[in-house]
Each structure stands twice: as C-alpha cells, then as structure tokens.
Structure 1
Amino acid sequence: MSETLLETLEPFTRLEPGELEQIRRIARPVEFGPGSTLIREGEPCRALYVLASGTVEVRKKILPGSTRQLAVLKAPTVVGEVGLLAGGVRSTALVRARTRTRGYEIPREAFVGLVEEGSLAALKVVYELGRLLAERMAKTDDTIAQLVTRLEEGGETQGPEIFRDTMMQEWGS
C-alpha cells in the first residue's frame, strides 16, 4: 500500500510508521469498474475502503424503489467508516463507483482483531474516524437547522427539493 496515501487521509495522519505498517498488513488492493457496488444499503458493512483513485456516489433509499444521491466523493477519501465503527450495523447507504476506482479494503473483521489486541494504530484510527463523523454530523445538523428555518420563514413552495439540493451540495463538499 502506498505510504503517501495513508499519510494523507485524515484517519491515518497521526499514525507512526510502525502503526501505518499494521494497517497496511490487513489492507487488500481492490478495483471497481463504473457501476460496481462497494457498499450496499441494508447489508452488513464488511470493510472500510481507502480510495486512491476514482469517484463514487453515495445514495440513500428514500421510498421503496426510490433512491436519492447524497454525495459524490472523489479520491483520496474513505468510505464505510460507519460500518467499521458500528459493529453488526447494516450499511446506511449505497456506495457505487462512478468511474474506475482503485484503493484498498480494510476488512472489518481484521480491523476489529487489531482493536481487540489493543493495537494503538487501530485505536488511533477509531478515534480519528469518530472525530471525523462527529464533525460531519455537526455540519449536517447546522445545515438542517438553516434549511428548516428557511422553509418556515420563507414559505418556500419547493421545500423538499431545496432541502435535497442543499444537502447534496453540503455532502459533496
């Protein structure tokens, strides 16, 4: 696994060289063609994906038979962090490759094994992912509060569309 890739992604930036090596040992190279599914909503999450190249879309079921795009993420980034941290939880969204996407899969089972062994590397990654998710949640909460205020005060007639479009812009940034 490329050292510079791990070192540039937020969950791994505080790891020492030996700790990075522990993560590299459990990571497996993966490649997805356009339209391939990395994570399927409602299924158990099996891995964290460290994306080195490509673009993925994140989609959420809104109604039976209907999904909405929440975000488009470009590498380098990580996806699958909720499933990695929340054991036994079903995936909260669909993640599908839009372009040829390459990277690394960190299997949940192997990562949990490192945590159970007391690996400082794994514990640091858990902490950083938790912090990243908390920041994303706070940003989402602020956006929702602003949208609700706008809808209530402005009498917007296109409420759901404005909400969707704003959330897509926020998640994509």
Structure 2
Amino acid sequence: MRLRKNAKVDLLEAVPLFSSCSKAELQRIASLADELDLAEGATLIREGERGREFLVIVDGTVRVTKHGKKVRDLRAGDFIGEIALVSDVPRTATVTATSPVRLLVITDRAFRGLIEEMPSIATKVLQSLGERLHSDAV
C-alpha cells in the first residue's frame, strides 16, 4: 500500500533536515520521493561507497554499523544519508534492514534539481546540516 501525498509530507516535516521548510516546499520535496520496500537483511547503504540518495524510514528497522561494529538501530521516522544530498563523499557506515522495511528515497540528482528550482530549500537544509554537525561535535 502506497503512502498518500499528505503522509509523505508529514514524514518529511518530522525530519530535522526539512523541519524549517514551508508546506509548499515539503510538498515539492515529497513529490520527488519514491517509495521502496526491502526485505530483512537487505543492505541499504554500504560503507565506503559513493552516496546517491537520502532515505527516510517509513516502516521497519535498520542497523547502522561502522567497521563492522554496531553504531545504532533506527526505526520509522529516522533518516539516513543526508550528506549525500549536498556532498559527493563516501558513505561513513553500512545500513542493513533488520526487518522488512519501507523507505522514502530522494536521489541526489532530483534534490539538486529541486534546489535549483527552489533555492530557499538549499539554505534551510544547509543550516540544518550545520546545526546537526555542530551538535555532534560538541
């Protein structure tokens, strides 16, 4: 069963990366998001590989590992891969589904096109990323 457009907007609004976006901006971001269903055990992201997408967990759970060691478990509402939207750097961790999982996926290419169309989103996302990096560094 696919999500309604408003459900996508609600999920994205809860993501700190997009929390300062207007409803119109969230609706535009939601229009770019594809839904993806993966089985338990599927690898969503592999450490060291180039990142090309941002993922929001709709249902299910995933485990984040770095150098083979558990970092944390994530669940519905959590997100992964925000740096891939703004930077071409290798993934810093591996993410594996620990249950069947449904995701919203936004590719870096679609997101870059969006920020050309709506530059206000870029400013808000970069500010949010800066705040997140600062809080992680403290």
Q: Shared topology, TM-score over 0.5? A: yes
Deviation at 1:41, TM superposition (A): 1.0
Q: Are the structure 2 counterparts of residues 30 and 126 from structure 1 closer, same or farther at C-alpha, using a change threshold of 3 Å?
A: farther
Find out whether 1:75 has 2:71 as its counterpart.
Answer: no
The alignment-based identity, stated in percent, is 36
Higher alpha-carbon Rg: 1
Task: Specify which of 10, 14, 17 is matched with residue 20 of structure 2.
Answer: 14
Q: Secondary structure at the match of 1:48?
A: strand
In 1, Cα distance between equivalents of 2:86 and 2:47: 16
Deviation at 1:52, TM superposition (A): 1.4
In terms of fraction of residues, the more helix-rich structure is 1
Counterpart residue number, 1:135: 135
Deviation at 1:122, TM superposition (A): 3.5
Matches within 5 A, 1:116-155: 116-138=116-138
Aligned length: 132
Counterpart residue number, 1:100: 100
What amino acid does structure 1 have at the position aligned with 2:127? Y
Counterpart residue number, 2:36: 30
Q: TM-score, normalised by structure 1?
A: 0.69
Give the superposed CA RMSD: 1.6
Counterpart residue number, 2:60: 54
Deviation at 1:118, TM superposition (A): 4.8
Deviation at 1:123, TM superposition (A): 3.0
Deviations 1:101-153 (A, max 9, x none): 11200101111222344521243123213322321232xxxxxxxxxxxxxxx
The list of structure 1 runs, each at least 4 consecutive aligned residues, that deviate by more than 3 angstroms after superposition, is: none
Q: TM-score, normalised by structure 2?
A: 0.85
